[in-house]
Amino acid sequence: MNTKLDALGLSSPILAAPMAGGATTPRLVIAAAAAGGAGLLAGGYRTPEALARQIAEVRAASVPFGVNLFAPNPVPIDPATYAAYARRLQPEADRYDLDLAGIPRTEDDDGWRDKIDLLLDAPVPVVTFTFGLPDPAVAEALRAAGTLVGQTVTSPDEARRAANADFLVVQASSAGGHSGTLTPGWTPADIPLGELVHAVGRVSGLPLVAAGGIATADAVADALRAGAVAAMVGTVLLRSDESGASKTHQAALADPPGDRRTVVTRAFTGRPARALANAFTRRYDRLAPAGYPALHHLTGPLRKAAAAAGDADRLHLWAGTGFRHASAEPAAAILGRLVTNL
């Protein structure tokens, strides 16, 4: 393919997405490499110490891998709006004896500086950024340390702004979990992945990795024909043997009702994210204000309690549009099947 990604030595143009919150495990990243591709650890929501332990585990396997970080791009929320949403959600929290009024409004940066320092002190092959654009000096420092730098974009305009990257992850609205949009106050346009890759390719000469709703061999082949050098998959791996997704999440994917669909919602975190529709999204999607990461922290204890209780109606069931193809088997088998049409 003659791109900078060739330095990773991949034999298969497939990447396992960095699904934050526990779904992407070191075992999953290692399995992706065993299938000829590579995986990215999710640095988001992890302490620098926990991330360092995961990096050490994958590094010990001597495989190509990367790390994804949430670049700061906050959506502040005023105290009154935050408190009002907490009051609306309290009836849900009452089921688990949780007091949402006692959760402070938190506007943190997810340990940004400490994680950058970690990746500069002990460089990894690839670092990608989502949510925001890092300062050019950060990208240059990583590159000087021998790291390839990738940037998630969701539009041609964002691709123009990300010219300092080595490659772009072109994420369509069909992707599960949070959108990587640089303008989180708006929901990204629902553009088919192939069209989006082609549009970004017209304005950027960087290598493109396609992401969003990819769950079949045909979808992988289509993404590469559109101009991508590789495909990134996430939801299709959520039920794999190596997945760290909660049992509640996996069960919802395994046996969805016939009319189950995905929706893009701010209800859980105050930032656009695609999930399986459930009672929570139906009740609160239109009521949820923009406000990230404050709303992520507000609903965190409720979501954790729901996952432990098997309560899929109050859990963030992140899922892309290809969710019905998620299967319970080794990740290597899933990834191998995805490249059979190449």
Helix (H, G, I), strand (E, B) or coil at 80: helix
Q: How confident is the model at residue 1 (pLDDT cuts 50, 70, 90)?
A: very low
Can you tell me the mean pLDDT for 243-260?
88
Return the CATH number of 4-338, one of 3.40.710.10, 3.30.1360.30, 3.20.20.70, 3.90.245.10.
3.20.20.70
Indicate the domain borders of the chain: 4-338
What integer pLDDT is reported at residue 3 of this predicted model?
66
Q: Residue 187: its pLDDT value, please?
A: 86
- Using omega within 30 degrees of 0 as the cis cutoff, is the peptide bond preceding 293 cis? yes
- Give the sheet arrangement for strand 177-178, strand by strand: 177-178, 273-276, 262-265
pLDDT higher than threshold 90 for residue 74: yes
Q: Please state the pTM of the whole predicted model.
A: 0.95
Round the average pLDDT of the chain to a whole number and report it. Answer: 96
CA count, 13 A, side-chain hemisphere, 197: 26
Q: Tell me how far apart the alpha carbons of residues 26 and 139 are, in angstroms, rounded to a whole number.
A: 24
Number of H helices, E strands in the chain: 12, 11
Q: Which helix (H) or strand (E) holds 16?
A: strand 14-16
| Lowest model confidence (mean pLDDT) among 24-33, 58-67, 183-192, 311-320 | 183-192
> Residue 253 in contact with residue 326, Cβ under 8 Å?
yes
Q: Is the pLDDT of residue 258 over 70?
A: no
pLDDT over 90 percentage in the chain:
94
Cα distances (angstroms) measured from residue 9 to each of 12, 58, 180, 303 = 9, 16, 27, 39
| Confidence category of residue 6, pLDDT binned at 50, 70, 90 | confident
The answer, yes or no, to whether residue 2 has pLDDT greater than 60, is no
